Amino acid sequence: MSAWTAAAVGLVPSLLLAVIAAGRGGAAGRLVAIQLAASLATFLAVVLTFVDDQSSSIDLALALALLTLPATLLFALFEERWL
C-alpha cells in the first residue's frame, strides 16, 4: 500500500463524520459541516488522482472546489427562505 492510498483511506472516516454532522444540529452547524465535507471531498479527489496516477482526474477536484462556495450559498438561501 502506497502512502497516497493510506492517505485516501485515512480521509474516508473524517468525510463520513462530516456528512453525518451535516444532517444534524442547527442551520449554522449544518453549513459548517457541508463546507467541511466539501473540502474533504476535494482533498480526497486530489489524493485519489495521485493514487491512480491519472492527471486528468484532477479536473474533478478543481470543479468541486470551484462549485462548493456557490452551492453552499444557495443552500443557505434555501434554508433562509423556505425552512
CA–CA distance, 75 with 57 (Å, rounded to integer): 27
CA–CA distance, 14 with 8 (Å, rounded to integer): 11
CA–CA distance, 80 with 83 (Å, rounded to integer): 6
Domain boundaries, the chain: 3-82
How many CB atoms neighbour CB 41 within 10 A?
Answer: 19
pLDDT tens digits, 9-67? 999 999 999 999 999 988 889 889 999 999 999 999 999 999 998 888 899 999 999 99
Q: What is the pLDDT of residue 82?
A: 84
Q: What is the pLDDT of residue 40?
A: 95
Q: What is the pLDDT of residue 7?
A: 94
Q: What is the pLDDT of residue 80?
A: 85
Q: What is the pLDDT of residue 48?
A: 92
Q: Are the beta carbons of 16 and 37 closer than 8 angstroms?
A: no
Q: Residue 12: CB partners within 8 Å, gap ≥ 6?
A: 44
Q: What is the pLDDT of residue 27?
A: 82
* Helix boundaries (H) for 1-83: 3-22, 27-52, 58-82
